[in-house]
Chains A and B, each alone.
Chain A
Amino acid sequence: MSKKILIVDDSPIIHILLRKTLESRGYEVCGDAKNGKEGVEMFKLLTPDLIFMDITMPIMDGIEAAKTIKELNPLAPIIMLSAMGDDEIVSQAKEVGVDIFLKKPFDDYKIVSALSKLE
């Protein structure tokens, strides 16, 4: 059975790009959330095997959403995606338990490498 992935990002473009890469490699995108709050709700409902999470989003940002998800399940794998990648933000992401931090733009190779590290 293919792994279920939840994408949490307020950009429809990121959803398109990620879905293309993931589905071409046999992963199933089980949910598309456009902010952190939706992301947390979908996580509870869909129990994905892995989450791609943006940082800057309305209503609830990615750091807060990641922290909430990790509190619900510390083992939930989270790959954080962000246009920003300075030391401080990477550190904040790691503090809440994010497993891998990827700076946008990402190519197929970066995504596939990140997925293999978590498998």
Chain B
Amino acid sequence: MDKQLYLPFIESVKSILMQMTNIELEPDGECIAEDDEVVSYGVSSIISYSGKLKGRLLLDMEKELALKIAENITGNIYTSTNEYMVLASISELNNIIAGDGITKLNNEYSYGLRLAPPIVFSGRDTVICIPKISSVSLNCKTPYGKMKVNAAFERSL
């Protein structure tokens, strides 16, 4: 996959996470082509976009990181990722990150991408299977836990 497509999202994750939560994201390796499935760390958010291209951004993170993100965004402490405001915080974070990424792509390459609202889920032993589309993942770490950023693109028919 062309770097020009996924690098804006990687940059957006780092900068928006810092702006919104004051949490520093550190890549743990290089961007790699992803296999068909992602074994979730615990909390995942998926947002899709479409225009001249289609695709989606997946943010997957450990539960402790999700709780800290929600705390830093809302100012409240949470103990469970099943709480609505925790998942709503992750959902909004993903929305803003994806929005920032597609803004860069739209302004640079006129892809006309628009976002659909995200979904977010939390569970035990969750596996997300993503066949039929090529994607790139970057594994990252923060002081509160791990995060995986996965961006996928395909041509619109």
Beyond A10-B117, A13-B89, 17 additional contacts (C-beta under 8 Å) are A11-B92, A11-B95, A13-B92, A16-B74, A17-B74, A56-B114, A82-B99, A83-B99, A84-B99, A84-B102, A84-B114, A84-B115, A85-B100, A85-B103, A87-B107, A88-B106, A88-B112
Main secondary structure of the interface of B (DSSP, over half): helix
Residues of B within 8 A of A107 (CB): 19
Contact bitstring A5-40, B, C-beta under 8 A = 1, else 0: 000001111101100100000000000000000000
Q: Is A105 a contact of B20 with CB atoms below 8 Å?
A: yes
Q: Nearest residue in A to B91 (C-beta to C-beta)? A: A11
The verdict on B73 contacting chain A, using a C-beta distance below 8 Å, is: yes
The verdict on B143 contacting chain A, using a C-beta distance below 8 Å, is: no
Contact bitstring A80-114, B, C-beta under 8 A = 1, else 0: 00111111100000000000000111010000000
Residues of B within 8 A of A87 (CB): 106-107
Q: Nearest residue in B to A104 (C-beta to C-beta)? A: B96
Contact bitstring B74-103, A, C-beta under 8 A = 1, else 0: 110000000001001101100110111011
Contact bitstring B99-121, A, C-beta under 8 A = 1, else 0: 11011001100001011110000
Residues of A within 8 A of B103 (CB): 84-86, 103
The verdict on A74 contacting chain B, using a C-beta distance below 8 Å, is: no
Q: Is B95 a contact of A83 with CB atoms below 8 Å?
A: yes
Q: Nearest residue in B to A58 (C-beta to C-beta)? A: B117
Q: Is B117 a contact of A12 with CB atoms below 8 Å?
A: no
Q: Nearest residue in A to B112 (C-beta to C-beta)? A: A88
Residues A11 and B88 in contact in the complex (CB < 8 Å), given A85-B103, A86-B107, A103-B103: yes
Q: Is A56 a contact of B20 with CB atoms below 8 Å?
A: no
User: Nearest chain B CB to A34's CB is how many angstroms away?
Assistant: 12
